[in-house]
Every structure is written in structure tokens, then in C-alpha cells.
């Protein structure tokens, strides 16, 4: 069985606890990005289907604090 949570931790350099969520989702991605990221990534450039390119996140998001809040 593949450990997707470990992949996220290694690729993004963030601590991840618990199991990863995989599978089909039916959300309004623009609304969700606005709510959780504070910005809507450009379609085609950063959002492809239901995925956000890691390079875009790395280039456009501030690094997390060493001890981030739950939020």
C-alpha cells in the first residue's frame, strides 16, 4: 500500500498527521481556494482538473511557521 501522506510531507516540506484523502470530489475549487488559501489560482496555469500544481503553491504561498496554528 502506498503512503500518500508521506509523499505530501516530503514534497511540500510540511508535517502531515493522519490518513490522506483520495478519490473523487465535487467541490467548487475556486470557492475552496479562496476560503482556504485566500487566492484563486489561475485555471490551466495552476489548477488542472481538481489538482493544484505544487510548483504554483510553492511560488505563491508563504512558508509555514515552525509551529503553525491549527488553522
Number of domains in the chain: 1
53 located within any domain:
yes
5 located within any domain:
no
Q: Is the pLDDT of residue 50 over 70?
A: yes
Looking at residue 54, what is its pLDDT? 85
The answer to whether 33 touches 40, Cβ cutoff 8 Å, is yes
Say if pTM beats, i.e. exceeds, 0.85.
no
Q: Ramachandran region of residue 52, left (φ > 0), alpha (ψ -120 to 50) or beta?
A: beta
Looking at residue 10, what is its pLDDT? 73
Looking at residue 4, what is its pLDDT? 58
The C-alpha atoms of residue 13 and residue 18 are separated, in whole angstroms, by 16
The C-alpha atoms of residue 52 and residue 12 are separated, in whole angstroms, by 13
Q: Is the pLDDT of residue 42 over 60?
A: yes
The C-alpha atoms of residue 66 and residue 43 are separated, in whole angstroms, by 31
Q: Is the pLDDT of residue 32 over 80?
A: yes
How much is the mean pLDDT over the chain?
Answer: 77
59 located within any domain:
yes
Residue 48 belongs to domain spanning: 24-63
28 located within any domain:
yes
19 located within any domain:
no
Amino acid at each position: 500500500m502506498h503512503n500518500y501522506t508521506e509523499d505530501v510531507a516530503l514534497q511540500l516540506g510540511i508535517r502531515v498527521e493522519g490518513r490522506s484523502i483520495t478519490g473523487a470530489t465535487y467541490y467548487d475549487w475556486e470557492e475552496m481556494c479562496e476560503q482556504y488559501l485566500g487566492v484563486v489560482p489561475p485555471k490551466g496555469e495552476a489548477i488542472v482538473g481538481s489538482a493544484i500544481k505544487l510548483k504554483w503553491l510553492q511560488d505563491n504561498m508563504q512558508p509555514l511557521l515552525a509551529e503553525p496554528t491549527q488553522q
